[in-house]
Amino acid sequence: MSKRTPMIEMRHVSKHFGSVIALSDISMAVCSGEVMCLLGDNGAGKSTLIKTLSGVHRPTDGQMLLNGEEVSFKSPAYALDAGIATVFQDLAMIPLMSITRNFFMGREPTTGWGLFKRIDWKRADRIAMQEMSKIGIDVRDPSQPVGTLSGGERQCVAIARAVYFGAKVLILDEPTSALGVKQASVVLRYIAKARADGLAVIFITHNVHHAYPVADAFTLLKRGGSLGSFRKEDISREEVLNMMAGGAELESLDAELAEFQHTDQEDQRSARPEAAPQNQASSV
């Protein structure tokens, strides 16, 4: 691992929900300009980990550090103020509100002073359009409800917002899982851009084709514990696949299918015993 001070770090973090141990003694670190991909089966604790980092949950034990300083967040708003922006797959946007309102979420630019202070909608619309066009999405009308955008475009509004407001850490929980190839590639390109801009990115995905090209390192969770972090140069695409949710099942499914095929061939052969000598004869 690099010797720079990590932008975001967890040291021996645990999270219990009553008797459920969702996270146990997790240590991991991500530097600015790096993408860390979080892997693990369903229920491994990935979402709990990022919710703990982003202030939704308080850790039961352990420390979290932002740029070398210990932090503790009372709520996601505190984490956001500190520079940790999280794109939750389900609650990233308010569908009935406009693109501009979703982009600013209460931090709209204002004009005038004192009693005459009001939101500068013209400027807000212009900024929202500019920031979206920077990532290649042309918004025709920034007052159109976010619900009318495609899934990929919606994810991009959330990411563009995080970058615009100066996030240092960008956390994405399965941003590409419901997207088609083209839209997923837009989101992936934007993740690469966020890394190039110096953000530390934590990215959860179940798709090896999405994880491998953009990640610099991988952390594997299993039943709430960490099996370690791996630099990309030390791990192959196949190994990453096996670490992903369902990777192990895919492998055993392959083995089962091979077994089916095998027994299927046997069944076919035993169903046509008289055909075998003929075949043999004709092949000589």
In the complex, which residues of this chain contact ligand ATP (CB under 6 A)? Answer: 17, 20, 22, 40, 42-48, 245
Nearer to Mg ion, 149 or 211 (CB): 211
- Of the two residues 50 and 200, which places its CB atom closer to Mg ion in the complex? 50
Using CB under 5 A as the binding criterion, the count of chain residues that bind Mg ion stands at 1
**CB of 42 vs ligand ATP, minimal distance in Å:** 3
Closest to Mg ion by CB, 51 vs 161, is 51
CB nearer ligand ATP, residue 32 or residue 48: 48
- Contact between 173 and 124 (Cβ < 8 Å): no
As measured in angstroms, the least distance from the Cβ of 17 to ligand ATP is 3
Residue at shortest CB range from Mg ion: 47
Identity of the residue, 34 or 173, whose beta carbon is nearer to Mg ion in the bound complex: 173
Shortest CB 60 distance to ligand ATP, Å: 12
Binding of residue 47 to Mg ion (CB under 5 A) = yes
Which of ligand ATP, Mg ion, none interacts with 40 (beta carbon under 5 to 8 A by kind)? ligand ATP
Q: Which of Mg ion, ligand ATP, none interacts with 71 (beta carbon under 5 to 8 A by kind)?
A: none
Select the binding partner of residue 17 from Mg ion, ligand ATP, none (C-beta < 5 to 8 A, by kind).
Answer: ligand ATP
Instruction: List beta partners, residue 64.
Output: 10, 71
